Copies of this chain bind each other. A is one copy, B any other.
């Protein structure tokens, strides 16, 4: 039913080879034949099959993307930036939303292999042994975006999470806060869990602040989690005067919780976020946050991946982008 190259050839009175040549813009086709072919294509509404083309060219122009949560403003912004770059380079995106479902990730990694995607982008770092093994096995360029898995053999595009977290904490200290609550991530996550936690600890220690166990909590980066952990922080006798959450979503949850307890941000408690997602400007008070260059992260990810695909040597190790503290309304000097 679909028009195929043979139909076009017949219609134009030439060979399929010639049709293929004008399709691919090769030289060595006389203008009159070229015109005939183009007319036939037009009249028949022919669109060449990428499937057939991929098979013979051994090139699919497909990139597989694994997103932990599409509804998160952070990931969807990276994805959007990745899509822009992909489209500009004539690549198409096969998108998988795993929402903490490891089985789905395994399944999609297999699908990606079967679809012969040319590269894979992964945006979460909870890689178990099976997945680690599979990724190595399938032998397709893989890049981690915004996260860094334990396996050192994978390339990542990230910020210096340790330093970013250190700087964020330091800022709160410089505002005069003596007690700073911490709502961290999963300690199994290298970048967003461990590194950000170390940054907080060391900034506190280096500036002579005591680390209070009660002030330190670990969530799952989501709004609800920030809310619940803030609730715990508010329930202790002398809550911290500032709170640093390692995602903007958790910071928002914390702000909402504080507000729901009839306290004010930042007058009663300062709140610092992490990510620099769109949310920071949408909430009131606007959220001071340690910004990752989200757009650039998407761009750099595609950049490295495209280089890996074309076989060029990738820059040694990870790509580390600059973090930046963006001061808004949610933090103020301790009075």
Give A residues with C-beta under 8 Å from B: 2, 45, 47-52, 54-55, 60, 69-71, 73, 76-77, 79-80, 83-84, 87, 92-97, 99, 104, 107-108, 110-111, 113-116, 137-138, 223, 252, 255-256, 259-260, 278-279, 282-284
Contacts and interface: CB of A to CB of B under 8 A. Distances in A.
A267 to B, nearest CB: 15
B87 A51 contact: no
A94 B94 contact: yes
Nearest to A65: B95
**Secondary structure at chain A's binding surface: helix, strand, loop or mixed?**
helix
Contact of A80 (B93, B97, B111): B97
A51 B116 contact: yes
A259 B259 CA distance: 15
A71 B115 contact: no
29 contacts: A45-B137, A45-B138, A47-B114, A49-B116, A50-B115, A51-B55, A51-B115, A51-B116, A52-B55, A55-B55, A70-B77, A70-B79, A71-B80, A76-B76, A79-B97, A80-B97, A87-B107, A92-B94, A93-B94, A94-B95, A95-B95, A223-B282, A252-B282, A255-B284, A256-B282, A256-B284, A260-B284, A282-B283, A283-B283
